[in-house]
Amino acid sequence: MAKRAAPRGEKRPAARPHQHGKGRCLHILRALSAYIDDELSGTICQEIRLHLGACPNCEDFVASLRHTVSLCRHTSAPILASADRARMRENILKSARTR
Amino acid sequence: MPAVSPPHSPKDRSSAPARTQKNFDKLYRDHVDLMYRFANRLCGETEAAKDLVQETFLNAYRGFKNFRGDAQVSTWLYAIAARACLRMRRKRKGEPERELSLDEFIPTSEGEFRLQIPVDGLSPEEALENKELRQALDAAIDKLPKKYKMVLVLRDMEGVSAKEVGTIMGLNERAVKSRLHRARLFVRRELSARGVDGTTTTHAETYR
Ligand SMILES: [Zn+2]
């Protein structure tokens, strides 16, 4: 996969060289649900954003996680037909009286 | 059956069984669609979902007196359904009941970082019109071990808060979030590994 430039255009401070070590990415991976759910403090968010801007793999990863959650949120479910609704009510009441 | 004494106005002189039935009918009318949706998402198919809904409302009917009104009715019903679902035998394929560890979700090759499915430039609704994608998502969710699936369904599909999911499942919020994260990573990995062809939608244009 070709390396891309950080799309957000965020510049890392030179004093904090980006660690391409797996450990850094792993640390980010652990926090990603909290990150996309906006539950992290500003400092940690900033830290993650900086990493994402410099690490295409993690950036792809967070995008794919966001997509996954977004798909889950938008799935539809079948609607109960009114005949089924009435039949099930009868079944429940019958069981409630006999058992 | 134990006597049921739900709250009622002093003017209500109807018999206890009649009152019970009246309360039940209101409960059923107001929440059956919500429970059916939840059950479908948990069970992945309509017949099992109908069984679960009936089991849920039967238990609710019997447990009326245990409902104290300090939680929302929907929370109470979700909890009854969740317990009933855990009791129901899992007939279908799927992951055995096991713990998911974070380590197993770390991509090991470059291609695994992104989804191999047509979602770029599409709204989630548009993306889900792709039948193959919808099936892949359903299959991924269905494969989750039950206790992870339940958290994902409640939180990300039913839109229940993490705190409320904790109440429903008897977990603290931290445990809920930890399970949710692993469940999402699991589904993400399934969608990334499987690969769905974009040709069945009209506007699935991957631009990378
Ligand atoms: Zn990284």
Q: What average pLDDT is seen over chain B?
A: 84
pLDDT tens, position by position, A32-70: 999 999 999 999 999 999 999 999 999 999 999 999 999
Closest A-chain CA to B53: A88
d(CA A34, CA A65): 12
For residue A88, give the nearest of B50, B141, B156 by CB distance: B50
Name all contacts of B126-129 with Cβ < 8 Å and 24+ positions apart. Answer: B126/B201, B126/B203, B127/A71, B127/B201, B128/A71, B128/A74, B128/A75, B128/A76, B129/B201
Residue B25 predicted with pLDDT over 90: yes
Q: Determine the pLDDT at residue B106.
A: 83
**Which chain B residues touch A67 with a CB distance below 8 Å?**
115, 119, 124
Residue B197 predicted with pLDDT over 90: no
Cβ distance A89 to B111 less than 8 Å, yes or no, reads: no
One-character DSSP codes across B63-125: HGGG--SSS-HHHHHHHHHHHHHHHS---S----S-PPPGGGGS--SGGGGS-SSS-TT--HH
**Which chain A residues touch B1 with a CB distance below 8 Å?**
96-97
Does some domain include residue A11? no
Does some domain include residue A12? no
Does some domain include residue A28? yes
**Which chain B residues touch A71 with a CB distance below 8 Å?**
119, 124, 127-128, 133, 137, 191
Does some domain include residue A9? no
pLDDT tens, position by position, A8-30: 444 444 434 444 567 888 889 99
Task: State the distance between the two ends of chain B, measured CA to CA, in whole angstroms.
Answer: 64
Q: Report how many Cβ contacts below 8 Å link chain A to chain B.
A: 113
| ipTM score above 0.90 | no
Mean pLDDT of B103-125: 80
Say whether domain B10-91 belongs to CATH 1.25.40.10.
no
Closest A-chain CA to B27: A89
Q: Determine the pLDDT at residue B208.
A: 35
User: How many CB atoms neighbour CB B170 within 10 A?
Assistant: 10
d(CA A95, CA B19): 18
Q: Determine the pLDDT at residue B151.
A: 98
Mean pLDDT of B169-176: 97
Does some domain include residue A15? no
Mean pLDDT of A58-85: 95
Query: What sign does the CA torsion over B189, B198, A62, B169 have?
Result: negative
d(CA B142, CA B146): 9
Prediction pTM value: 0.82
User: How many CB atoms neighbour CB B72 within 10 A?
Assistant: 12
Q: Determine the pLDDT at residue B139.
A: 94
Q: Determine the pLDDT at residue A35.
A: 97
Q: Secondary structure of B28-65 in the HEC alphabet?
A: HHHHHHHHHHHHHHHHCCHHHHHHHHHHHHHHHHHHHH
CB A26 within 8 A of CB A66: no
Q: Which residues surround ligand 1, an ion (CB under 5 A)?
A: A 25, 55, 58
d(CA B3, CA B31): 23
Mean pLDDT of B122-128: 90
pLDDT band at B193 (very low <50, low <70, confident <90, very high): confident
Q: Determine the pLDDT at residue A1.
A: 40
Q: Determine the pLDDT at residue B18.
A: 81
Cβ distance A65 to B185 less than 8 Å, yes or no, reads: yes
Does some domain include residue A1? no
Q: Count structural domains, chain A.
A: 1
Mean pLDDT of B104-117: 79
CB A25 within 8 A of CB B98: no
pLDDT band at B95 (very low <50, low <70, confident <90, very high): low
- Amino acid letter, residue A96: A
Residue B4 predicted with pLDDT over 80: no
What CATH number does residue A47 fall under?
A: 1.10.10
Nearest 5°: CA angle at B203, between A52 and A33?
A: 30
d(CA A69, CA A24): 23
Q: Which of A19-33, A83-97, B135-149, B182-196 has the lowest mean pLDDT?
A: A19-33
CATH of domain B102-206: 1.10.10.10
Domain boundaries, chain B: 10-91, 102-206
In terms of pLDDT, which residue wins out, B198 or B188?
B188
Residue B73 predicted with pLDDT over 90: yes
For residue B128, give the nearest of A26, A75, A91 by CB distance: A75
For chain A, the residues whose C-beta falls within 8 A of a C-beta of chain B are 1, 22, 26, 29-30, 32-34, 39, 57-58, 60-61, 63-65, 67-80, 84-85, 88-89, 91-93, 95-97
Give the distance from CA B50 to its chain's centroid: 14
For residue B113, give the nearest of A57, A78, A96 by CB distance: A57
For residue A33, give the nearest of B137, B159, B180 by CB distance: B180
Q: Determine the pLDDT at residue A5.
A: 44
pLDDT band at A4 (very low <50, low <70, confident <90, very high): very low
Does some domain include residue A43? yes
pLDDT band at B110 (very low <50, low <70, confident <90, very high): confident
Mean pLDDT of B144-171: 96
CB B6 within 8 A of CB B22: no
Does some domain include residue A77? yes
d(CA B27, CA B21): 10
